[in-house]
Amino acid sequence: MTSIGFQQIDMSVNTVLAISPQDHLAITIVGVAWVSTAYALGMIWTALALIDRWRGTHGEGNINFVSVIAALVMAAAWPIVLAALIVM
């Protein structure tokens, strides 16, 4: 015990807890799933922003199936497209 009542903790290499290989794999899979979900949400949001921009201010633009597919393909690079939409 120290003078203020807390016990000293041994932080040597032998007492440091490590995660098991199974836990490491699970944490990696969950991390990749979270990042993939965030990326997919960004793609959807950017595709909708592109379609909205192509429609025009009064909705007079002609949006068809090819336009939607083109927006989804272009939205794959959504960080760059988002920057271009903000700048322009």
Which residue reads 């393909």 in tokens? 73
List the structure tokens of 19: 């995660």
According to the model, what pLDDT value does residue 74 have?
A: 87
Is residue 60 assigned to a domain?
A: yes
Is residue 63 assigned to a domain?
A: yes
According to the model, what pLDDT value does residue 42 have?
A: 87
List the structure tokens of 30: 């969950």
User: Could you tell me the pTM of the whole model?
Assistant: 0.62
According to the model, what pLDDT value does residue 65 have?
A: 93
Amino acid at 29: I
Is residue 10 assigned to a domain?
A: no
Is residue 41 assigned to a domain?
A: yes
Q: Residue 46 in contact with residue 75, Cβ under 8 Å?
A: yes
Helix, strand, coil content of the chain in percent (nearest 5): 70, 0, 30
Q: Which domain holds residue 24?
A: 20-87
Q: Residue 78 pLDDT > 70, yes or no?
A: yes
Number of domains in the chain: 1
**Percentage of residues in the chain having pLDDT higher than 90:** 24
Q: Residue 2 pLDDT > 60, yes or no?
A: no
Residues 18-53: pLDDT tens digits?
A: 778 788 889 999 999 999 999 899 889 889 988 998
